[in-house]
Amino acid sequence: MVAVRTSSPLTQLSEEEILFRETVRRFASERVAPLVRRMDEEQQMDSGLVRSLFELGLMGIAIPEECGGGSGTFFDSILAVEAISAVDPAVGVLLDVQNTLVAAALLHWGTDAQKKQYLPRLAADTVGAYALSEAGSGSDAFALATRAARRGDAWILNGRKLWISNAKEAGLFIVFATVDASAGYKGITAFLVEKGAGGFTVGRKEDKLGIRASSTCELILEDCAVPGSQLLGEPGAGYKIAIETLNEGRIGIGAQMLGLAQGAWTHAARYAKERKQFGRAIADFQAMQFQLAEMATDIEAARLLVYNAARLADTRTFGAGADFRKEAAMCKYFASHAAERVASLAVEVFGGLGFVKDSPVEKLYRDAKIGKIYEGTSFMQLATIAKLTL
């Protein structure tokens, strides 16, 4: 595999990775870009686009070939999320949840029978969702009120989940519930729940500030019977499953925010070369050059952090190998802050035009805010970084 040097050793890509990234970029430009405005206004992911994502293999990047996937690396997933998010971060999070959370959890924790049953579907036509959050468990992610009680060979789930990404489109949900409240986090268990299961309902869709095409819904479980074979991992292993997959998921959010920032900068730089004031392109003024230079520096720093964390994630085996918790927290923290800064400055480059919906950067500015909130707030990332560095 030949390495192709870019601006830094950490951002070197192999020829295969460059080809893959360019394929995804071309898809984003040709298939995603024309739909962005409508999907945002309608708060709806285009169903034809979702099918195209499956057809291109982007919904099962790391799933083995024998299961219909691409047998790619975690880093490949990160490249895809970044490239798609430069055009529409709402589509980026669809890819992120599918690849870095749902497929990853099944790959590392599923039984052979579960992998045989679900991995081909996740690669071909089934969207996945990851149901951890509840009204009373945001940053305190494991203060779960959802309960699971054994009844014969089945488990009966009762509770509500909130803010579940991909919920409207999903056919498979990884649902976390407590089987023994007295055991604290050691009682948390993961279950595979299919759409259409008795007692399982996808509730109202949230009306969000940004990433509006991405569905975010509540889930309602009322005596939802889940066969024992649908247990993911052992009873009480839910905490470990969630922690280890969310570490990967945070790198995915870092990639989403990195792509968003790159997209905002590209729009701003292009506009600065086209917009003329006082007889000159505004890009000719030093103040504008400095602003764009600051934005570019933020993006490069975020890319270094995201790529480093993703490469580390690819060197580990779950339960052993590289510990990338600190790097995942750092890249998620920094990239989300960088995306918000870059998108805000991009709006300013566009001036009054940047404040209206005819401008592409207006949407990216709205989309950026969520990066500092979901899959661990900035405060939680700082707490992790402090714990692992002090």
Instruction: Supply 302's token pair.
Output: 């975020």
Give the span between the Cα atoms of 262 and 28, in whole angstroms: 14
pLDDT digits (tens, 9 = 90+) for 246-304: 999 999 999 999 999 999 999 999 999 999 999 999 999 999 999 999 999 999 999 99
Task: Compute φ and ψ for 43, nearest 5 degrees.
Answer: 55, 50
CA distances from 207 to 20, 31, 50, 163 (A): 34, 25, 21, 11
8 A C-beta contact, residue 189 and residue 176: yes
Per-residue pLDDT for 322 more than 90?
no
User: Could you count the other beta carbons within 10 Å of the beta carbon of residue 61?
Assistant: 27
Q: Give the pairing of strands 170-178 and 127-131.
A: parallel
Instruction: Supply 129's token pair.
Output: 């969702």
8 A C-beta contact, residue 298 and residue 261: yes
CA distances from 162 to 131, 199, 216, 311, 352 (A): 8, 16, 8, 32, 36
Give the span between the Cα atoms of 100 and 352, in whole angstroms: 38
Instruction: Supply 54's token pair.
Output: 């499956």
pLDDT digits (tens, 9 = 90+) for 134-172: 998 877 877 899 999 999 999 999 999 999 999 999 999
Catalytic (active site) residue 42: no
Task: Compute φ and ψ for 134, nearest 5 degrees.
Answer: -140, 170
* Sequence spans of domains, the chain: 3-127, 130-232, 245-389
Instruction: Supply 303's token pair.
Output: 């890319």
129-138, 152-161, 379-388: least confident range? 129-138
How much is the mean pLDDT over the chain?
A: 95
Residues contacting residue 222 through CB under 8 Å, at least 6 positions apart? 158, 199, 201
Q: What angle do CA 108, 202, 244 make, to 5 degrees?
A: 20
- What's the residue count for the chain? 390
Mean pLDDT of 302-320: 84
Task: Compute φ and ψ for 209, nearest 5 degrees.
Answer: -65, -50
Burial class (CB in 10 A: 0-12, 13-18, 19+), 45: buried
> What is the per-residue pLDDT for 317?
53
pTM score of the predicted model: 0.95
> What is the per-residue pLDDT for 359?
94
Given 3.40.30.10, 1.10.540.10, 3.40.50.700, 3.30.460.80, which CATH number is that of 3-127?
Answer: 1.10.540.10
Query: CATH says 245-389 is which class?
Result: mainly alpha
Per-residue pLDDT for 5 more than 70?
no
Specify the residue for token string 């007692």. 199
Specify the residue for token string 């500030």. 209
Mean pLDDT of 39-59: 98
Instruction: Supply 89's token pair.
Output: 């971060």
**CA 150 distance to own-chain centroid:** 33
pLDDT confidence bin for 132, thresholds 50/70/90:
very high
Instruction: Supply 259's token pair.
Output: 């792509």
Within 13 A of 111's CA, how many CA atoms are on the CB side?
A: 13
End-to-end Cα, the chain, rounded Å: 38
pLDDT digits (tens, 9 = 90+) for 55-86: 999 999 999 999 999 999 999 999 999 999 99
Give the span between the Cα atoms of 236 and 183, in whole angstroms: 9
Per-residue pLDDT for 127 more than 90?
yes
Per-residue pLDDT for 2 more than 60?
no
If we measure between CA atoms, which residue out of 330, 326, 272, 323 comes closest to residue 301?
A: 330
pLDDT digits (tens, 9 = 90+) for 330-355: 999 999 999 999 999 999 999 999 99
- Could you give the percent of the chain with pLDDT greater than 70? 96
CATH code of domain 130-232 = 2.40.110.10
- Could you give the percent of the chain with pLDDT greater than 90? 92
